[in-house]
A and B are shown apart, each in its own frame.
Chain A
Amino acid sequence: MGRLLLIVTALLFLCVFLVLPLLVVFAQALAKGFEVYYLAILAPMAWAAVKLTLLVAAIAVPLNLIFGVAAAWAIAKFNFRGKSALITLIDLPFAVSPVIAGMIFILVFGTHGWFGGYLRAHHIRVVFAVPGIVLATMFVTFPFIARELIPVMQSQGKDDEETALSLGATGWQTFWRVTLPNIRWGLLYGVLLCNARAMGEFGAVSVVAGHIRGVTNTMPLHVEILYNEYNYTAAFAVASLLALLALLTLAGKSILEWRQPELRHAVRRPRDRTRRAYS
Chain B
Amino acid sequence: MKVNSSAAAALMGRKTRGVLPGFGLTLGYTMVYLSLLVLIPISAVFIRSSSGGWAHFWEVVTAPRVLASLRLSFGASLVAASINVVFGLIVSWVLVRYTFPFKRFIDGMVDLPFALPTAVAGIALTALYAPNGWLGAWLKPLGIEVAFTPLGIVVALTFIGMPFVVRTLQPVLEELDREVEQAAASLGASPLQAFCRVIFPALWPALLTGFALAFARAIGEYGSVIFIAGNMPMRSEIAPLLIVAKLEQYDYAGATAIAVVMLVLSFAIMFGINALQNWAASRHGER
Interface residues of A (CB under 8 A from B): 2-3, 6-7, 9-11, 13-14, 16-22, 24-25, 28, 66-67, 70-71, 73-75, 77-80, 86, 88-100, 103-108, 112-114, 135, 138-139, 142, 158-159, 161-162, 165-166, 171, 174-175, 193, 196, 199-203, 206-207, 219-221, 223-224, 227, 232, 235-236, 239, 242-243, 245-247, 249-251, 253-254, 265, 267-269, 271-272, 275-276, 279
B135 — which chain A residues lie within 8 A by C-beta?
16, 20
A-B contact pairs, 24 of them (CB 8 A): A7-B98, A10-B93, A11-B94, A13-B90, A14-B91, A70-B33, A88-B270, A88-B274, A98-B118, A100-B263, A105-B41, A108-B41, A135-B37, A142-B38, A196-B115, A202-B222, A220-B119, A227-B123, A239-B124, A243-B116, A250-B111, A250-B115, A253-B108, A267-B167
Indicate the member of B21, B113, B256 with the most A CB atoms within 10 Å: B21
B124 touches A21 (CB 8 A): yes
B112 — which chain A residues lie within 8 A by C-beta?
18, 22, 246, 250
The 9 closest A-B pairs by CB, nearest first: A97-B220, A200-B117, A203-B222, A202-B223, A171-B21, A104-B41, A246-B115, A74-B27, A10-B94
B17 — which chain A residues lie within 8 A by C-beta?
78-79
Give residues 194-231 of B contacting A (CB, 8 Å): 216, 219-223, 227
Give residues 5-59 of B contacting A (CB, 8 Å): 6, 9, 13-14, 17-23, 25-27, 29-30, 33-34, 37-42, 44-45, 48
A95 touches B158 (CB 8 A): no
B134 — which chain A residues lie within 8 A by C-beta?
20, 24
B98 — which chain A residues lie within 8 A by C-beta?
3, 6-7
A138 to B134, CA, bound (A): 37
B126 to chain A, nearest CB (A): 9
Q: B262 on the interface (CB 8 Å rule)? A: yes
Query: What is the interface of chain A mostly: helix, strand, loop, or mixed?
Result: helix
A73 touches B93 (CB 8 A): no
Interface residues of B (CB under 8 A from A): 6, 9, 13-14, 17-23, 25-27, 29-30, 33-34, 37-42, 44-45, 48, 87, 90-91, 93-95, 98, 100, 104, 106, 108-121, 123-125, 127-128, 133-135, 158-159, 162, 167-168, 170-171, 191, 216, 219-223, 227, 240-241, 243-244, 247, 250, 252, 255-256, 259, 262-263, 266-267, 269-271, 274, 277-278, 281, 286
Choice from A3, A75, A91, A135 contacting B270 with Cβ under 8 Å: A91
B95 — which chain A residues lie within 8 A by C-beta?
10
A74 to B17, CA, bound (A): 11
A140 to B11, CA, bound (A): 40
B29 — which chain A residues lie within 8 A by C-beta?
66-67, 70
B35 to chain A, nearest CB (A): 10
A92 to B271, CA, bound (A): 10
> For residue A204, which residue of chain B has the nearest CB?
B222
